[in-house]
Chain A
Amino acid sequence: GESVGLHLPTLSVQEGDNSIINCAYSNSASDYFIWYKQESGKGPQFIIDIRSNMDKRQGQRVTVLLNKTVKHLSLQIAATQPGDSAVYFCAENNAGNMLTFGGGTRLMVKP
């Protein structure tokens, strides 16, 4: 759902460290989840996805974990780089390609 307040939650990490961004989703019937990266003034960019029959999926430097019991999704970024600085959204697909986006987290990478 939509974030509360004026500012997105912010995660600040040192370059080279690992980042973990969390997301709670709302619909227990959702069967497909996606993480998107959005840079300022641009559209969302697909990062990684996971289906509900899995609890972990790895990509290049990114890992998504799904905990259906508590309806929680996380994105792990290994060796975070300055280019990873952006806002990250999780999205759940629960019916007919319709996506519901989470509130978003701003990742800031300090050099």
Chain B
Amino acid sequence: GAVVSQHPSRVICKSGTSVKIECRSLDFQATTMFWYRQFPKKSLMLMATSNEGSKATYEQGVEKDKFLINHASLTLSTLTVTSAHPEDSSFYICSAPQAGGPPDTQYFGPGTRLTVL
């Protein structure tokens, strides 16, 4: 099946720094990718929809200036957590539906664990 990768899988950073997380569709093209955040023992919460060639759509309560999304190609979306703080520590997961593929089918990445000290 289709594969989505994320890099890095784990990152630890100091408060105030910015962290970039990559989401790649390895063997298919994705015009749309989704970014989720998952706190410990909680469910996945959709943060934003990344659209290739246009601006991302953010869910209510998600600061677009803090969580910068760039979907520069049909296989890559990046999420940059700017000026990270300890409360941004979370598990970030991306997903992508395959362009032209079976409707409703999404492929999830393995997640990125962000720890802000």
Contact = CB atoms under 8 A, between A and B. Distances in A.
Contact of B106 (A6, A8, A97, A104): A97
A34 B34 CA distance: 16
B44 A44 contact: yes
Given A32-B104, A99-B106, A41 B111 contact: yes
Contacts of A101: 36, 43-45
Majority secondary structure, B binding face: strand
Given A2-B43, A2-B45, A89-B44, A97 B104 contact: yes
Contacts of A98: 34, 46, 49
Interface centre among A3, A6, A43, A102 (most CB of B within 10 A): A43
Contacts of B108: 36, 43-46
Interface centre among B36, B44, B45, B46 (most CB of A within 10 A): B44
Contacts of A44: 44, 93, 95, 108
Interface residues on A, range: 20 to 34
A24 B111 CA distance: 26
Interface string B42-72: 1111100100000000000000000000000
A2 B42 CA distance: 7
A101 B39 CA distance: 13
Interface centre among A32, A34, A41 (most CB of B within 10 A): A41
A43 B110 contact: yes
List 7 tightest A-B contacts by C-beta distance, closest first: A43-B108, A101-B44, A101-B43, A43-B110, A43-B111, A97-B97, A44-B108
8 contacts: A6-B41, A43-B109, A43-B110, A44-B44, A89-B44, A98-B34, A101-B45, A103-B42
Given A8-B41, A97-B104, 7 more contacts: A2-B43, A34-B104, A43-B6, A43-B93, A43-B111, A97-B106, A101-B43
